[in-house]
Chains A and B, each alone.
Chain A
Amino acid sequence: MAERFAVPGWVPPSALQRKRILDDTRSIAIVGASANPSRASNFVATYLLSTAKAYTLYLVNPRETEILGQPVYPSLQDLPEVPDMVDVFRRSEDLPPIAQEAVELGSKTFWAQLGLWSVEAAQVASAAGLDVVMDRCTKIEHARFAGGLHLAGFNTGVITARR
């Protein structure tokens, strides 16, 4: 696990800000998608395909052609559209060039998965106006607000009398 050094000019988004990011996202590119069902990227892709069907999901990995029945793209540039969110499952040291790519493409959010942290990547993306989330799981964060985490006994912080 990379050490979580403070990022000048960036504050990790609160639960509400993370909910807003997920609500505003329509397309997600998973960079570092794996065909191995024990890997977190495969887990998250399975969850998003089955539970969060409102998202258009793109899988990126130059060494794969098909995962979970979905086409796999060699790079972010090869996607048919600019993804709203670039969700990275690579080593922390690989994050800065991917953040730069997300900025150049015009994505809205740079998201680094659980256990990942890069001060440089966060600075590159947040300086360009992207929302930045690090060391968080998109599956867990989506489930926090969509009800899945509640069913698993987790504290969602949701208090409402609305149906």
Chain B
Amino acid sequence: MTDHEWGFRTRALHAGARPDPTTGARAVPIFQTSSYVFEDTTDAADLFALQKYGMIYSRLGNPTVSAFEERMASLDGALGAVAASSGHAAEFLAIATLAEAGDHIVSSSHLYGGTITMFSNTLGRFGIETTFVDPTDVDGFAAAIQPNTKVLFTETIGNPSGAIADIEALADVAHSNGLPLAIDSTFSTPALCRPMEWGADIVVHSATKFIGGHGTSLGGVVTEAGTFDWGSGRFANMTEPVPTYNDLRWWDNFGEYSYLTKLRNDHLRDLGSTLAPMHAFLFLQGLETLDYRMAGHIANARAVAAWLEADARVAWVNYAGLPSSPHHDMATKYLPDGPGAVFTFGLAGGRAAGASFIESLEMISHLANVGDAKTLILHPASTTHSQLTDEQMQAGAVSPDMVRISVGLEDLDDILYDLDRALEAAHG
């Protein structure tokens, strides 16, 4: 081992995955096992009491999942990571570690609709109140902070609004109020933006999207920087005795490791939303090519966005990579290689023309996902964001005519060919 700083592409291939010491296997083996034999009864008791590290049961940890977790931690520049069964599960775990009944969070209003619903519906019924604010309004986040607020939450790139978070300014607001900043960075991946370099404390990804890139597996991950002071007194559940673990105190016993240790051993333990080893293996395959794929996604996305913007059949295009976007400056700062490959546009002819357009596509897939290697398209108002109220949709900048595209890695000419045919059919 040397003091050399390994580069992103090297870590995408190697981090968390040294050869298997028993067999020499170079690829990460799929440890398809529910449980692990103890050395003896003392070993079992020590493992259960968190007094030693090791495997107990795959709900809490699995060696294939560990390899994925460490690789994500490395790529995000984080202290560590805990994987989950979906991006949604990762978000829930990230919040559940910090907040409980009577607490409050401040969140962007431009989130993926399912996240808004989780916060307002399930968290609300669990007694955690959310104030939603415009993600571009940093002062709005500051103004919404209450004595019982536990975290500020936003997305690096809003889904589907495309708003780019001013991460550095939000981190300043959070930290000056003794709070952590949590960021969902699904649309950008660590290849395009590492929010911790700008002061974020917690990062959440849906691995289902670009991290896998193959659209085969659901999964998520929480990474944490390990630099936040959980011992300030504001986070009693970090500093009070934990009865289920012999009255240890997370902050006293685990220091910078407190948040992730609590997330895994309190909340993943209780909720059981664990990533399957096969899915971790498939995400590891995806991560190997992440940097190359994101470059390809962005090259195609830039070209498709410019082509659409120049087309009279298209009323508007909202892609932060276009100089016309109100988010262009923020994207240049935080996403210098490009603001991802998911963006929105509207057709001349509004919602009806949009529906006809989507149904006329041949090669581009109409489905509810993003970040597949294949180009995907969707009408958010009737699908991913359909469970929102009219007010929530307006606050989330989801208009009725909005079409969302996730530009894939096909030949650019073929993507444009298919879009052109469908635009023609919609306006025929």
* Residue among A50, A51, A147, A148 with the highest chain B CB neighbour number at 10 A: A50
Q: B252-286 vs A: 1/0 string, CB under 8 Å?
A: 11110100110010000000000000000000000
Whether, in the assembled complex, A47 has its beta carbon less than 8 Å from a beta carbon of chain B, the answer is: yes
Which residues A127-163 have CB closer than 8 A to chain B?
135, 137, 140, 143, 147-163
- Comparing B69-77, B142-150, B338-346, the segment that makes contact with chain A is B69-77
Q: Do the beta carbons of A151 and B18 come within 8 Å of each other?
A: no
How far does the Cβ of B264 sit from chain A's closest Cβ, in whole Å?
7
Whether, in the assembled complex, B78 has its beta carbon less than 8 Å from a beta carbon of chain A, the answer is: yes
Whether, in the assembled complex, B249 has its beta carbon less than 8 Å from a beta carbon of chain A, the answer is: yes
How far does the Cβ of B119 sit from chain A's closest Cβ, in whole Å?
25
Return the contact of A47 from the options B20, B51, B55, B264 (Cβ within 8 A): B51
- Residue total for A at the interface (Cβ-Cβ under 8 A): 35
Q: Do the beta carbons of A152 and B18 come within 8 Å of each other?
A: no
How far does the Cβ of B22 sit from chain A's closest Cβ, in whole Å?
9
Given A38-B241, A140-B255, A159-B11: A152 and B3 within 8 A (CB)? no
Which residues from chain B contact A147 at a C-beta distance below 8 Å? 53
Q: Do the beta carbons of B1 and A151 come within 8 Å of each other?
A: no
Which residues from chain A contact B254 at a C-beta distance below 8 Å? 114, 137, 140
Q: B76-90 vs A: 1/0 string, CB under 8 Å?
A: 001111110000000
Please report the number of residue pairs spanning A and B whose Cβ atoms sit closer than 8 angstroms: 123
Whether, in the assembled complex, A91 has its beta carbon less than 8 Å from a beta carbon of chain B, the answer is: no
Whether, in the assembled complex, A115 has its beta carbon less than 8 Å from a beta carbon of chain B, the answer is: yes
Which residues from chain A contact B78 at a C-beta distance below 8 Å? 155
Q: Do the beta carbons of A150 and B52 come within 8 Å of each other?
A: no
* Residue among B15, B42, B61, B70 with the highest chain A CB neighbour number at 10 A: B70
Q: Do the beta carbons of A150 and B255 come within 8 Å of each other?
A: no
Which residues from chain A contact B18 at a C-beta distance below 8 Å? 158-162
Which residues A38-58 have CB closer than 8 A to chain B?
38, 40, 43, 46-47, 50-51
Given A38-B241, A153-B80: A159 and B52 within 8 A (CB)? no
How far does the Cβ of A84 sit from chain B's closest Cβ, in whole Å?
21
Given A40-B252, A154-B80: A148 and B54 within 8 A (CB)? yes
Q: Do the beta carbons of A151 and B260 come within 8 Å of each other?
A: no
Which residues B1-47 have CB closer than 8 A to chain A?
1-3, 6, 10-11, 14-16, 18-21, 24, 26, 42-43, 46
Q: Do the beta carbons of B73 and A50 come within 8 Å of each other?
A: no
Q: Do the beta carbons of B43 and A50 come within 8 Å of each other?
A: yes
Whether, in the assembled complex, B389 has its beta carbon less than 8 Å from a beta carbon of chain A, the answer is: no
How far does the Cβ of A146 sit from chain B's closest Cβ, in whole Å?
8
Whether, in the assembled complex, B330 has its beta carbon less than 8 Å from a beta carbon of chain A, the answer is: no
How far does the Cβ of A86 sit from chain B's closest Cβ, in whole Å?
20
How far does the Cβ of A115 sit from chain B's closest Cβ, in whole Å?
7
Specify the main secondary structure of chain A where it touches its partner: loop
Given A19-B1, A162-B18: A153 and B83 within 8 A (CB)? yes
Q: In whole angstroms, how far apart are the Cα atoms of A33 and B52 in the complex?
A: 17
Which residues from chain B contact A38 at a C-beta distance below 8 Å? 241, 245-249
Q: In whole angstroms, how far apart are the Cα atoms of A160 and B16 in the complex?
A: 9
Q: In whole angstroms, how far apart are the Cα atoms of A106 and B183 in the complex?
A: 49
Whether, in the assembled complex, A12 has its beta carbon less than 8 Å from a beta carbon of chain B, the answer is: no
Given A38-B247, A38-B248, A143-B53: A151 and B66 within 8 A (CB)? yes
Whether, in the assembled complex, A71 has its beta carbon less than 8 Å from a beta carbon of chain B, the answer is: no
Q: Do the beta carbons of A140 and B80 come within 8 Å of each other?
A: no
Which residues from chain B contact A135 at a C-beta distance below 8 Å? 255
Which residues from chain A contact B66 at a C-beta distance below 8 Å? 150-153
Which residues A90-142 have CB closer than 8 A to chain B?
114-115, 135, 137, 140
* Residue among B52, B54, B66 with the highest chain A CB neighbour number at 10 A: B52
Q: Do the beta carbons of B19 and A163 come within 8 Å of each other?
A: yes
Q: Do the beta carbons of A155 and B1 come within 8 Å of each other?
A: no
Additional 14 contacts, C-beta under 8 A, given A47-B51, A50-B42, A137-B254: A38-B245, A43-B50, A114-B255, A151-B55, A153-B65, A153-B70, A154-B70, A154-B73, A155-B70, A155-B73, A155-B78, A159-B10, A159-B14, A163-B24
- Give the 7 A-B residue pairs with the shortest CB-CB distance, closest first: A148-B53, A153-B69, A154-B80, A155-B73, A38-B247, A114-B255, A46-B51
